[in-house]
Amino acid sequence: MRSNLLSTVLLALLAACSQPSSSSAQPPKSALPGPPLPSAARRAPTDAAQVKLSYAPVAKTAMPAVVNISSKRVVRQVDPFFEQFGLGVPRARVEGSLGSGVIVRSDGVIVTNNHVVEGGQEITVSLADRREFPARVVLVDAKADLAVLKIDASNLPTLAISTDEDLQVGDLVLAIGNPFGVGETVTNGIISALNRTDVGGGSYIQTDAAINPGNSGGALVDMNGNLIGVNSMILSRSGGSQGIGFAIPGPTVRQVVDTALGGGKVVARPWLGVSGQPVTGDIAKSLGLDRPEGVLLAGVYPGSAAARAGLQQGDAVLTVDGQPVNDEASLNYRIGTHRPGDALSLTYQRGGSARTTKVTVEAPPSRPKDQQLIQGANPFDGAVVLNLSPASAIELDLDPFRSGVVVSDIRGGFSANAGIRPGDLIEQVNGRRIGSVEDLRTALQARTRTWSVVINRGGQQIQATFQA
């Protein structure tokens, strides 16, 4: 869910595209650098001499592990004027992008943003010592906007990924990357906020360290030189840094890297099986809470981990393993950084009293996709459809509590001209309720040229009639 702030500012992904240039197995513990260094005791400067202390030792340790990433892809296009007449020869145009990355294993394993390398046909990694290597993509996790790359090199400097939950607002941090392609650059700031969930699809660390185009995929490090986040995006009116930047936190980075090193192709995130909303002041009073906190459960999926643990509609989940949650996105983040099969401790409010329960989380349930490309004289000609389940709904960023048949792709045909879009949920065809792909196949066998369809798009029901 995006806040109203997004209506007045630009949410700018700091990818290469904005900077044009012309199942998982647990890996062995030795796969990554040693454990992050412990945090030193926090204290404010007490005199002028301490204020003048330098960040140089931290930068000197961290900078060699931050790399520059360039990505190129060939785009074929036809002149729009000739295209409207069905004429014209496609012309090849090379698009380039620029970003940053972090070496997390000495044999050339690198983590960066997915949007830095997405669609790239030629990816080049430039090290701090100016050596260049071609890179291949090991794993892409579009949901977290992370990608893991591999180059053929050894004995490289690395940064340890920190999963420290003791980060605090006000902690000093450094952002390291290659903004605007000018070369490796370090900026400093503080953690402005934690668990920001209203700016994108996940939970972010907010910082005022200057982050600019090209910083995407770079390192956000603490004063011990540990990687606490991967810089991802900014809020800006101008496209440049205005002191509000966001980084993907260490636990999410660790989860994606571990999946890649374990040979996984998809990051398996567990699902609690609930939907919810933030607790307001009025709701807090009705629940016996002294202040608004937690997530009020609006629904519990039958047979889910939450249902088996005894959670009910109307409960308010307050903490996950001792960490507070205040909206559905932060709850999903806390659950999602674990693996299916992990046991978690949840505190929740019911009947005016706080309770604690153990939950063993699991992967979201799925059903046979029965994926099919629809063809023929009907409105869905050229559409790829599949059965919707919690697993496929989450993959498509849809409501996992919905069921039915969803459009996952459009490959031309009548559907492209009819305005059918990926993510559309097909509810009815000629008055027939559609609950599965098999239902849709049967409905589309009707001998008719007039089609009345009902689809659900983003929670809004749309009815239309077509002549096909």
CATH architecture of 372-467: Roll (2.30)
Q: Which residues pair with 406 in a beta bridge?
A: 386, 425
Q: Which helix (H) or strand (E) holds 319?
A: strand 316-320
| Alpha carbon distance 249, 158 (integer Å) | 17
CATH assignment, 274-360: 2.30.42.10
In sequence order, what are the beta bridge partners of 277?
Answer: 296
Run of H or E including 73: strand 66-77
Let me know how long the chain is: 468
pLDDT single digits (tens) 281-338: 999 999 999 999 999 999 999 999 999 999 999 999 999 999 999 988 889 889 988 8
**DSSP-derived secondary structure for 287-334:** HT-SS--SEEEEEE-TTSHHHHTT--TT-EEEEETTEE--SHHHHHHH
- In this prediction, residue 24 carries a pLDDT of 41
The C-alpha atoms of residue 40 and residue 61 are separated, in whole angstroms, by 16
DSSP state of 437: H
Name the one residue in this structure whose structure tokens are 């990357």.
177
Taking a C-beta distance cutoff of 8 angstroms, is the pair 271, 361 a contact?
yes
pLDDT at 71: 83
- From the candidates 71, 216, 392, 415, give the one annotated as an active-site residue: 216
Q: Which of 70, 71, 97, 115 is catalytic?
A: 115
> What is the spatial distance between Cα 86 and Cα 253, in angstroms, rounded to a whole number?
46
Backbone dihedral angles phi then psi of residue 241, each to the nearest 5 degrees: -65, 130
Q: Residue 415 in 3-state DSSP?
A: helix
Cβ atoms within 10 Å, residue 306? 25
The rounded distance, in Å, linking the Cα atoms of 34 and 28 is: 12
| Same CATH fold assignment for domains 1-22+58-264 and 372-467 | no
Residue 321 has what pLDDT?
Answer: 92
Q: What is the pLDDT of residue 4?
A: 39
- Cβ burial of 129 (10 Å; 0-12, 13-18, 19+) is exposed
What CA–CA distances, in Å, run from 321 to 2, 197, 391?
A: 26, 19, 24
φ, ψ of residue 254 in degrees (nearest 5): -60, -45
Cα dihedral 250, 256, 257, 261 sign: positive
The reported pLDDT for the residue numbered 2 is 38
Residue 145 a catalytic site member: yes
SS3 256: helix
Nearest Cα neighbor of 116 from 203, 238, 19, 255 is 19
CATH topology of domain 1-22+58-264: Thrombin, subunit H (2.40.10)
Q: Could you give phi then psi for residue 91, rounded to 5 degrees?
A: -110, 140
Q: Annotated catalytic, 115? A: yes
pLDDT at 3: 40
216 is catalytic: yes
- The pLDDT assigned to 210 comes to 85
Q: Residue 416's CB: how many other CB atoms inside 10 A? A: 14
Using 50 as the pLDDT threshold, list the residues of the chain that sit under it: 1-30, 81-82, 85, 87
Domain boundaries, the chain: 1-22+58-264, 274-360, 372-467
